[in-house]
Amino acid sequence: MALSQSEGNAMATRPVLRMGDPRLLEISKPVEKFDTPELRRLLTDMMDTMKALNGAGLAAPQVGVLWRVVIFGFEENPRYPDAEAVPFTVLVNPKLTPIGDDMDEDWEGCLSVPGMRGLVPRYTHLRYQGYDVSGKLIDRTVEGFHARVVQHEVDHLDGILYPQRIKDMRQFGFNEELDAAFEDEDDESERGEELDVDE
């Protein structure tokens, strides 16, 4: 039986915990029984919550459930307009294995850190393994934004929020302020180019 939205198409969203809530710093426990009503209800609520908030992914601890469960994926996402599509995935008891040492820094946000973003280093290639809601094995090798999303969500299961991985805290802030700073830099760059032409 496939997962679907709540019966009657009513959204069954749950409140998302925000940074500062001590539950987000706890290590989640493995799921021991698959395909249970409790697990299916949790996943349906997580899907509804992620969709309602335009999230790229969501981890069970973010809705106050300390199980090793994450969901992620989208075709298009207004919060990440330039990101490639990621197939929707339910991943239970995940295991990540980096492939090589290559890392890349890129901007990340989080539903538990609303209104902010930061420049976060992540492995560019990795293999992830785990199970779907029915206990069927999932084993994929991915790269790019797909790899970044998986690492971000699985971090939640170990009590890690993305600001803890930022190397330079000058590259972390509120979206509006960062956008304004980037616009100022673009304006200065354009003015500089104009001066070069005039010279």
Percent of the chain clearing pLDDT 90 (strictly above): 80
Catalytic annotation present for 7: no
The CATH superfamily assigned to 7-97+124-160 is Peptide deformylase (3.90.45.10)
Check 153, 177, 185, 199 and give the catalytic one.
153
Tens of pLDDT, residue by residue over 125-173, are: 999 999 999 999 999 999 999 999 999 999 999 999 999 999 999 999 9
Number of other CB atoms surrounding residue 72 within 10 Å: 22
Length of the chain counted residue by residue: 199
- What does the alpha-carbon distance between residue 76 and residue 56 come to, in Å, rounded to a whole number? 9
User: Domains of the chain: which residue ranges?
Assistant: 7-97+124-160
Tens of pLDDT, residue by residue over 170-186, are: 999 999 999 998 887 76
pLDDT at position 1, please? 44
Number of other CB atoms surrounding residue 135 within 10 Å: 13
